[in-house]
Amino acid sequence: MSVVTIIGAGMMGSALAFPARENGHEVRLVGTHLDREIIDECIKTGRHPKFSVSFPSSLKYYQIEKMEQAIDGADMIIGGVSSFGVNWFADFVLPKIPDTIPLLTVTKGLVDTADGKLICYPDVWQKKLDELGSKVSINAIGGPCTSYELVAHDQTEVAFCGKNTDILRKLKNIMTTDYYHISLSTDVLGIESAVALKNGYALGIALTVGLNQKERGLDSELHFNSQAAVFGQSVKEMKRLLTYQGCDTLENLVVGVGDLYVTVYGGRTRKVGILLGRGLDIDQAKSKLNGVTLESLVVAVRVAKAVKAAAQKGKLCIKDFPLLMHIDDVITNKAEVNIPWEKFTFTV
């Protein structure tokens, strides 16, 4: 039996308690300073307030003040914070992890640099570890997996990525179940870029749902031609960005496109995209979704900034990213949604 400590009681981090505990491991769920009510509810009922079923028996729950106690003796740590908690995790959690305990993070996102590069969160955290002189192994999860379906034991395939194959195999052995299937990759930037990019593009696909509702009514049937057209353009632009990143595009693209597929069909990104498509501006859409974290907005704007910077240096062409540029215009400049359909076409 291993000891798995999860830091961050959000939905995805908490969902990973299911395969870990069902494999017979001791699981310790630690809430951040923002998760106090969630942990209180878990202690009281044995159930996450956002889940429809209870946790497996014998989970242990900790408020943030007892995090070091929860880390002591762990065989792995799962980082379960959202992208808005990246800096907090770096400053508060990383310094407290012993070198011998590998970290597996679910946090998705990219940071743009002034020269047009995109850096994934594991690399951001690696810089912090280097400053600390820490040897903690950072690994990450990517792929099509919604938390509520993982809790429901829907068949799920993801990828664990990291630099050390022995550690990756150890993490896979701890977490694999008959419904949670894990591929392994040492291309951290490739996997993490692919699954981060999908957030911005899923928002673009959701715009079409809102546009159809605006034209035909909120109760109108779904239209799939328009969704498929934007989905296809999303895949093209994601591939171009992965190539620009210098990544192995085939396997990474498969992981990213699968993640794009599930994100289009549910969750926060779909909601905000539909609202924008209906005609709300970004401030109005945020107001409608008060309290909901919108990581897709951050990713889309950062990637667009990187593309513009790279284009100025002659490394990319803006015309190759018409969908991304339009999404950025809608978010940044409150432009009206007017998807540039003809720019998606190609010719001989």
| Region 132-138 average pLDDT | 97
CATH class of residue range 189-344: mainly alpha
CA distances from 55 to 16, 22, 51 (A): 10, 10, 9
Q: What is the pLDDT of residues 245-297, one digit of tens each?
A: 999 778 999 999 999 999 998 778 999 999 999 999 999 999 988 756 688 89
Question: Which pLDDT does position 348 carry in this prediction?
Answer: 84
Q: What is the pLDDT of residues 30-84, one digit of tens each?
A: 999 999 999 999 999 999 999 999 999 999 999 999 999 999 999 999 999 988 8
Q: How far apart are CA 126 and CA 47, in angstroms?
A: 34
- In the 8-state DSSP scheme, what is residue 156? E
CA distances from 15 to 32, 153, 225, 236, 266 (A): 16, 10, 33, 31, 17
CATH class of residue range 3-186: alpha beta
299: pLDDT confidence band, cut at 50, 70 and 90? very high
Q: What is the pLDDT of residues 92-102, one digit of tens each?
A: 999 999 999 99
Residues 6+ apart with CB under 8 A from 236: none
Angle between helix 188-216 and helix 224-244 axes, rounded to 10 deg: 160
Strand order across the beta sheet in which 3-7 lies: 60-62, 26-30, 3-7, 76-79, 103-105, 138-142, 156-161, 180-185
- In 3-state terms, what secondary structure has residue 105? strand
Q: Minimal CA–CA distance to 297: which of 339, 338, 328?
A: 328
Question: Which pLDDT does position 295 carry in this prediction?
Answer: 84
265-302 residues labelled b (16+ CB within 10 A) or e (exposed): eebbbbbbbbbbbbebbbeebeeeeeeeebbbbbbbbb
- Alpha-helical regions (H) of 81-120: 86-88
For Cα atoms 204, 149, 190, give the angle at the middle one, nearest 5 degrees: 55
67-102 residues labelled b (16+ CB within 10 A) or e (exposed): beebbeebbbbbbbbbbebbeebbeebbeebeeebb
- In 3-state terms, what secondary structure has residue 94? helix
CA distances from 237 to 27, 249, 288 (A): 40, 12, 29
Same fold, 3-186 and 189-344: no
Please, is 166 exposed, middle or buried when counting C-beta atoms within 10 Å of its C-beta (0-12, 13-18, 19+)? Answer: exposed
Taking the domains of the chain in order of start, what are their residue ranges?
3-186, 189-344
Q: 180-185 and 26-30 as β-strands: parallel, antiparallel, unpaired?
A: unpaired
- In 3-state terms, what secondary structure has residue 342? helix
Q: Take residue 99 and report the two structure tokens written for it.
A: 């070198």
**Which residues on adjacent β-strands are paired with residue 105?**
79, 140
Q: What is the pLDDT of residues 165-180, one digit of tens each?
A: 999 999 999 999 999 9
Determine phi and psi for 223, rounding to 5 degrees: -115, 130
